[in-house]
């Protein structure tokens, strides 16, 4: 890798910019790697890497942050290692990143669900009209980084860009629910004949139309295959359905309910409260494990009940190996363990399912990525903490963060928008403030 000769002031300026963009040592090293990559790929008209970063216009307010930023010494040394010692932390074709608030859609799920970003598969579309392929999150809380086709081909050769997977079709919960409900009354068959007909060749040998849709043979217990098959019909391919349902990329889809549930758990998309379009998994006392599954088609929060569409059940009651597709209604007052309702997997819907992320209340003492996201948004608006200093992006909701929340709420009230409580600042970021600050 190229080793750049920088003065101490130039190194400090570049470190300030990297720290402003990413807020951590690992993130700043990734940013420095991207600056070097972009300079070598697209910066031929600039005299050196420092002037490229400062003047190209690609980095927001670069001159200001390079002159007035305050990167800690650990970041300065990290950026030195990348630029002056040649130890980049990203491949040389990585030329893009966006903060989450600038991303309009991704091909494999919801923008703000980090688990939905799949390396070398997720296609990102940002607010500026650019499209690029996701590579990684270099640090906890960092922006997603990736590459454009132009950069990849410059490094790897013409035509070398990986084929975009068949996952760009937007899938909503309502589409899945509609398709699942289409099959209400469908009955399983005695043999592999008349599979498309709802009522012909009725039998109890577990033959049905859904298992063949996912390349898994036929004649097995089919509640999971019903879920899989509906997803394939809506998504248009096994590959896309696997991504929707958080399953591994194989030539077939699983019919084993514990594996189906585990995929959602591994992806961080397992919940105890349902939403329409979720995949509900049921515990089987007879099997001593998860043993049945269906789609959630409606939720009544007042009574804490939900209605399903399930395959391989009975029309009159819950059944783990029945013979038809039917609706049933259950309570979600107690979920998990050996309760009948074990949990809810949330597919990677791309739109039409409410918020693009799970809203979490941020208040004094809160910690985690939600706090970091809020701090970053407030910082980008030049809202300072109680100490009058630039807000730290550290994932801890302290006095300075609470103060900054109150400042934002006061600003919005001046424009007639109440994102606090009863017209007053409450120092908490709940549903109203999240929706307002993210423009949802």
Task: Report pLDDT digits (tens) over 311-370.
Answer: 999 988 787 778 999 999 999 999 999 999 999 999 988 654 444 345 578 999 998 877
Percentage of the residues of the chain whose pLDDT score is greater than 90: 56
Average pLDDT over residues 102-107: 86
pLDDT of residue 64: 94
3-state secondary structure of 326: strand
pLDDT tens for 420-435 read: 888 889 999 987 888 7
What stretch(es) of the chain map to CATH 3.90.1720.10? 173-345
Residue 119 has pLDDT above 90, yes or no: no
How long, in residues, is the chain?
440
* Residue 147 near residue 132 (C-beta atoms within 8 A): yes
pLDDT of residue 355: 40
Contacts (Cβ under 8 Å, ≥6 apart) of 60:
none
Find, among 206, 405, 211, the residue nearest to 322 by Cα: 206
pTM listed for this prediction: 0.47
What dotted CATH number matches 173-345?
Answer: 3.90.1720.10
Q: What is the band of 20 on the pLDDT scale with cuts at 50, 70, 90?
A: very high
pLDDT of residue 162: 44
pLDDT tens for 247-306 read: 876 778 889 999 999 989 988 899 999 999 999 999 999 999 999 999 999 988 888 999
* Residue 6 near residue 84 (C-beta atoms within 8 A): yes
Alpha carbon distance 284, 31 (integer Å): 50
Highest mean pLDDT among 12-26, 128-142, 159-173, 421-435: 12-26
Q: Which of 74-83, 182-191, 428-437 has the lowest mean pLDDT?
A: 428-437
pLDDT of residue 156: 77
- What separation in angstroms does the CA of 31 have from each of 19, 23, 280? 8, 10, 41
Average pLDDT over residues 36-43: 94
Average pLDDT along the chain: 88
Residue 170 vs residue 310, higher pLDDT = 310
Find, among 236, 214, 241, 240, the residue nearest to 225 by Cα: 214
DSSP structure string for 105-164: EETTB-TT-GGG--TTTPEEEETTS-EEEEEE--STTPPPEEE-HHHHHHHH-TT-SPPP
Find, among 420, 399, 400, the residue nearest to 410 by Cα: 420
């Amino acid at each position: 890798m190229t080793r750049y000769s920088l003065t101490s002031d130039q190194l400090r300026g570049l470190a300030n910019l990297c720290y402003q963009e990413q807020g951590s040592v690992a993130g700043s090293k990734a940013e420095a790697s991207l600056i070097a990559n972009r300079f070598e790929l697209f910066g031929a008209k600039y005299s050196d890497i420092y002037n490229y970063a400062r003047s190209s216009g690609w980095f927001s307010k670069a001159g200001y942050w390079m002159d007035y930023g305050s990167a800690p010494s650990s970041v300065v040394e990290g950026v030195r290692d990348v630029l002056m010692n040649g130890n980049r932390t990203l491949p040389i074709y990585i030329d893009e990143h966006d903060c989450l608030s600038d991303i309009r859609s991704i091909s494999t799920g919801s923008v703000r669900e980090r688990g939905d970003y799949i390396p070398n598969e997720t296609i990102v579309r940002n607010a500026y009209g650019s499209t690029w392929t996701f590579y990684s999150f270099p640090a906890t809380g960092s922006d997603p980084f990736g590459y454009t086709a132009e950069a990849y081909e410059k490094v790897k050769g013409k035509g070398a860009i990986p084929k975009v997977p068949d996952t760009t079709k937007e899938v909503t919960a309502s589409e899945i629910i509609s398709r699942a409900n289409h099959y209400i009354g469908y009955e399983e068959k005695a043999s592999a004949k008349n599979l498309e007909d709802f009522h012909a060749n009725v039998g109890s040998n577990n033959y049905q139309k859904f298992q063949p849709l996912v390349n898994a043979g036929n004649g097995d217990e089919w509640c999971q295959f019903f879920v899989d098959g509906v997803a394939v019909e809506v998504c248009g391919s096994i590959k896309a359905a696997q991504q929707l349902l958080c399953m591994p990329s194989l030539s077939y889809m699983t019919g084993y309910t514990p594996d189906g549930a585990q995929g959602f758990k591994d992806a961080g998309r397992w919940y105890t409260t349902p939403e329409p379009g979720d995949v509900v998994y049921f515990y089987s006392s007879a099997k001593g494990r998860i043993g049945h599954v269906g789609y959630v088609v409606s939720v009544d929060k007042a009574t804490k009940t939900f209605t399903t569409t399930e395959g391989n059940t009975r029309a009159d009651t819950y059944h783990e190996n029945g013979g038809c597709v039917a609706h049933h209604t259950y309570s979600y007052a107690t979920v998990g363990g050996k309760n009948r309702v074990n949990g809810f997997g949330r597919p990677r819907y791309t739109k039409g399912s409410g918020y693009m992320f799970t809203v979490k209340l941020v208040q004094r003492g809160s910690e985690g990525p939600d706090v970091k996201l809020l701090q970053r948004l407030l910082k980008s608006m030049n809202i300072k903490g109680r100490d009058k200093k630039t807000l730290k992006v550290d994932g801890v909701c302290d006095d300075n963060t609470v103060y900054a929340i109150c400042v934002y709420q006061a600003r919005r009230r001046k424009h007639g928008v109440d994102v606090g409580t009863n017209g007053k600042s409450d120092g908490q970021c709940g549903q109203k403030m999240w929706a307002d600050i993210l423009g949802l």
